[in-house]
Every structure is written in structure tokens, then in C-alpha cells.
Structure 1
């Protein structure tokens, strides 16, 4: 609780400081993205550079994640490699930045994106570093922490041909943790914050001793063994079926396997992410990343270790302070939670979020009969909340 916020400066200079910081960050990013070369020694290339070239057009279309599957695709250069970004919808529509979870790339939010565009929104999605068609900064040189992901978000925003301020963030799982973290640092940019089964406040008692041992940094387990064990946990193919005992509240299994709680069971691994592509099941996409993106598992491991998934009470407190001081346009935080989610337990997160943000700031909606796969399978519920967050009577 002793971290120092860049926004804790005396009034009336607060708003000026925030605006100046945001402007300087964007200008800095524009400069370095145009003038610097990627250090390839410290970057693991994406499948875009290693897998696609030998495939025929038919072979590409049979991939679980074809590279042209969403509109407005572009590959954005950065210090840490290439970032796959998708952006489409009316140029004058409400800006919606969608951030996916820890294991499935941006196409996990395909249904949500199209439905928001159908409401007249301008959407942007991107593959987090080490997922999908984005490169992976080598974890030996770069932690997958708040700083790295904040940089990536700013680069993506800066790559757009239109202005992206202010905008609404919809973050799912790890993406929810990143959305809250980003909002705490850049309140002047954010007008809406919708967190779907977000990380950030997961109670530490849900971390098993096995996971603590497996993911400890610099532990006695060699890194190649850690990565191999994590890959087996993530893999849902027949080769490893039954070899790894899955824990019901393990983060690795959140988006890819059966989730159960209170005698209810929901299977997300067979859900098709792209309606026109029968190959694009959740499990197939994750397995494809394991097999063809050498940076995926290392990025996953580093994210578990360093991303803002746990103990983010101080950053969420700063969100409250900025709202109370009217630093930016954000007035409320919306939580969308799955009733049977064993990873993000609805009653626990609702209690903790209200305790930090205040009951007058946070609004919680618990969606019945769905678990952690809520963002993938219940896009309509999220769209409804976004409409309420934007105070749209007709939505």
C-alpha cells in the first residue's frame, strides 16, 4: 500500500500533470516506433514470420487462427517486436479497446467485437506479446509486467489512423487486470472501464503450493522444465490427456478446459471462436500456439510471475481516488462476473472491489450459469453492460 502514484500531486496541477504525462508518452512512443530497430536477439518471432510462408492459401484457411480472420489487420513494429492489431467500425463511433485473456489471443473476443461494431462502435483488438501473431520479448531480458503491457497498449493506440482519446476499455481475465492497471496510470484517456472476470484482486489463498513452487522466479526448478510442465497443463490434445492433474482453480485452465463450481460444469475448450471456421475451437487455438509460437509458453509463465494479477489493491485504490477527484471522465467501474467461475470467484471479487472502489463507484453484474469463459460465450451480457456504462438509453 506504499507505492507512489504519479497522479498524487497538489491541486490544481493534477489535471495538467496527467494530461502532460499522457501526451509525452504518446509523443515518445511515436518517435521510438518510427526510428528504432528491434533487437532480434531479444525477441522471439511470431508464427507470422515462421509458419505461414510454406502454407498454401487453403492451408492458411484451415489454421485455427488464420491471419486475415478479422477486419483492419495490421502488424505494428515496436522495440519488442511486431504486434498484431485489428481495428474496424465507424471512425466516429465510440472507441472500444478490447484486451483478451492470458492464453487465448484476440480472436477470443471476436463475437464481442462484432456485436459492439453492430452498435456503432469503433473497436480495437490486439494480440498480447507472445500470443497469436504478436512477437514475444524474451523473458530472460524482459519481464511481462505492468510496464511492458502498458507500453504495448500505448503502441497499439498510437498506431491508429484516428484519435483514441478518450475511450472505453473492456478487459477479460488477464486483460481485465491490465485494463485496471492502465486506467490507474492514464485516467485522462479513459471514459469507461468494463472488467470481465478480471485478475488483479485474486485472493492468494487460491494459489496452491504446487503453483507457488512451479512459478517462483529463480527457483530450483530449471526454466526449461517449468515451461515443459506448463505446456502440458495448457495442452488439451489426446497426447497428454490424463497425464497432468488439472486443478479446478488453476489459471492455466481458466480459458481452455472444463470449469466447475457448485455442482455446475461448463466446457469452453470446444467452443468455436470464429463462426465460419470449424477449426477455431478454444483448445485448438491454444494448442496451435504451443506448437507454433515458441514465445507463447515463456510469455505465459512470465505473465503469471510478473503481470498485475494479484495484490493490485493499491492500483485499484488510485482508480477510486482519480474518480473522486474527477481526474478524467471515468465515473464508474463495471464488473461482469460468471456465477460459477472457479478462478474469479464472484462473491469474493464483488466484496473486495466494493471495499476498495466504494459501492457508489463499482457496479457488479453476475451472469447466471456461466464460468470463466463468460467473455467468449456471453458477449450479449457484456454488450448490455457497455451500453449502461455509456449511459445509452437506446442500445
Structure 2
């Protein structure tokens, strides 16, 4: 081997060690949130009653607003938007005698991204700890998409803390073919570590942004455009967002919550629990067809079908969603 090749080989080895060392170090740190670069569209005081809560895994952000003696309801958002998803719905509920609790899941908005598995346990525990910290022993629970899966699991494990349950296109019952190829790709452990590495992050963000834009290319509603821009801002400026997003795609059981839905169905049979399900029949992200399986697990659930509604009905049809939820929770 020539001296030039030896030098190049040595440099390559050193670079590999440096990258591996930095990746290991980076992977063990809690990553910061949007406080480093707050968004004008989604700032820390997006809602009234904002608080930072320090927990063992990191710091999270929540807001509690509405009449102090109002009917308590906690809102759980989806995989990408943060608590801004409930902009219209949360404020409507607060204006109609509800005490609203909304928060950023780990790695979204103004919540940090801990170095851990982004699985069912992480998110259910986050909800339980938040309710314990704010002193709520019982509340209505609303969840959309990923948040619907979390809400279902939370109800299955903490039924004594749930009055009524509202699920909007909830995750957890998807078939393998429902998951896009990009989601299956990042589930590989090597890919997960590579795309979250600081050197690769810019390329990964370009790919995610392209996918996100293509999935929402038909958005014309101003409110939907605003929420989509908030989500894109997080992709680009939240230091821990990519970790949380990819970690969730990898770790959360998007196809494996069947037992949780069965448990909720049994609770409806054996307790006073009531369930409302809202779903757009044109939803391609969490396919509407999943609603048939949900109804077999929770036969007593009320299913409200939104004709021609996509996955973003909580934003694009926020007035109808707000009315349906408020009517159900009264």
C-alpha cells in the first residue's frame, strides 16, 4: 500500500471514530427545544396560562386556561405539530366552560427531547405525570392521530382518571401496508442513528421536509397553512425534533395497540366510560378503514364520519370538530 493510501486510510479511520464518538455523545444528551429559536407563529405564550415543568427526563411546556371551575379536558396532539394543533378547538372549549390542559409532547414545541425510547410508555407516563403535577385526578381526554393512540393507552392503564374519551383519526391499528416506505426505512436502527447525527441532519431534514410538503400539497385553507408552517418550522429549528419524530416512528406501536382498544371497549361495557370517534373518510395518513376495526373493539363508540375529510380535519374543519366535541363532553 502506498504512503498516500495509508494516510487516506488513517484519516478515514480517524473520521469514523470521531463520528462514532460524537454520535454516542450526542445520543446520550437531552436535546433542547424551540426556546433557542422561538417561532413567531408558535411562541411560548401561544395560549394563556403557560408553564414550564421540570421532570426527570427534561423540561416540558404546558398551558392551562379557561374557567377555573370549568369541565376539565386534556388535549393530546399528533406526531409533528405540537400543541398548536388545538389552536381553534382548545380556545373554543375554553370559551364554552371547559378548563383546558394542552401541552407539547417530548421533542415538540417547547418540550425538550430526552435520550430515550419514544414508545407507548414514554408518552403515557408524560400524560400521567402532567396530570399529577397540575393536580387533576380526573378529566375528559381528547387525542388526535398519534395523540389518539396515546389517549387510548392512557385510558386503558388509568381508567379511573378518564371521564370521557374523544379520538380523532387515532393511531395504533394501522396495517403494515399503511406505513409509508420512508417510515419503514427509518425503523432500521442504523438509519435512525445516521439521520440524527449532526453531520447528516441537514440532508435528513431536506428529505423530511420534501415528504411533509408532498403529503400536504393540496392545502389551501389559511388555518391549515399556518399549522403546516408551524410544523415545518419545528422540523428545521427544534434541535430535538428529528430525534423525537424518528424515534416515535421507530418505537411507537402504530400497528400494535389492539389490546388497548379492546381494554377501552371492555371499560365501556363495565363502567360509565363513553367514547366519541371522529374520522374523515378520505384520510390517507391514518386510513379511515381502521375505523371498522376500532368499532369491533369498541362497539359502543359513537363514530362521526366527516365526508371527504382528510387527516387534518381538526384544523380544516375545526368549527364542526369543536361543536361535536363540546356536545359530546357536556
TM norm structure 1: 0.70
Structure 2 distance, partners of 1:166, 1:229, is 44
CA deviation vs aligned residue, 1:203-226 (integer Å, no higher than 9, x gap): 222124453233223469834478
CA contact 2:78–2:144 (8 Å) conserved in 1: yes
CA contact 2:178–2:286 (8 Å) conserved in 1: no
Aligned ranges for residues 15-26 of structure 1 at < 5 Å?
none
Structure 1 distance, partners of 2:28, 2:258, is 36
Partner secondary structure for residue 154 of structure 1: helix
Structure 2 distance, partners of 1:219, 1:299, is 14
Structure 1 distance, partners of 2:292, 2:68, is 38
CA deviation vs aligned residue, 1:129-185 (integer Å, no higher than 9, x gap): 1111101102xxx1011111112112221232xx42321111111111111111110
Q: Which residue of 1 aligns with 2:284?
A: 342
Structure 1 distance, partners of 2:182, 2:66, is 45
CA deviation vs aligned residue, 1:288-345 (integer Å, no higher than 9, x gap): 212321100110000111123222111111112223232xx41x22110112211122
CA gap of 1:285–1:144, structure 2 versus 1, over 3 A, is: same
Aligned ranges for residues 346-357 of structure 1 at < 5 Å?
346=288, 348-357=289-298
Aligned ranges for residues 61-72 of structure 1 at < 5 Å?
63-72=40-49
* The structure with more helix, counted as a fraction of residues: 2
CA contact 1:76–1:85 (8 Å) conserved in 2: yes
Structure 2 distance, partners of 1:315, 1:172, is 16
CA contact 2:73–2:98 (8 Å) conserved in 1: yes
State the aligned residue count: 302
Q: Which residue of 2 aligns with 1:42?
A: 29
Structure 2 distance, partners of 1:129, 1:120, is 28
Structure 1 distance, partners of 2:45, 2:92, is 19
Offset of residue 107 of structure 1: 1.2
Q: Which residue of 2 aligns with 1:26?
A: none
Q: Which residue of 1 aligns with 2:15?
A: none
1:272 pairs with 2:223: yes
CA gap of 1:227–1:339, structure 2 versus 1, over 3 A, is: farther
Structure 1 distance, partners of 2:219, 2:239, is 27
1:93 pairs with 2:35: no
CA deviation vs aligned residue, 1:42-84 (integer Å, no higher than 9, x gap): 3111121x235xxxxxxx7xx2212212100000101111111
CA gap of 1:220–1:383, structure 2 versus 1, over 3 A, is: closer
Structure 1 distance, partners of 2:124, 2:275, is 19
Structure 2 distance, partners of 1:201, 1:174, is 11
Q: Which residue of 2 aligns with 1:158?
A: 132
CA gap of 1:96–1:214, structure 2 versus 1, over 3 A, is: same
Q: For 2:261, which of 316, 321, 343 is the aligned residue?
A: 316
CA deviation vs aligned residue, 1:357-381 (integer Å, no higher than 9, x gap): 22xx111111123211111122222
1:194 pairs with 2:166: yes
In structure 2, stretches of 5+ residues that fail to align are: 1-26
Aligned ranges for residues 96-107 of structure 1 at < 5 Å?
96-107=73-84
Q: For 1:80, which of 40, 57, 61 is the aligned residue?
A: 57
Q: Which one has the largest radius of gyration?
A: 2
1:135 pairs with 2:83: no
Q: Which residue of 2 aligns with 1:147?
A: 121
CA contact 1:178–1:308 (8 Å) conserved in 2: no
Aligned ranges for residues 1-395 of structure 1 at < 5 Å?
42-48=29-35, 50-51=36-37, 63-138=40-115, 142-160=116-134, 163-218=135-190, 222-224=194-196, 230-235=204-209, 244=210, 246=211, 257-258=216-217, 266-267=218-219, 271-272=222-223, 281-326=226-271, 329-330=272-273, 332-346=274-288, 348-358=289-299, 361-390=300-329, 392=330
Partner secondary structure for residue 130 of structure 1: coil
In structure 1, stretches of 5+ residues that fail to align are: 1-39, 53-59, 236-243, 247-251, 259-265, 274-279
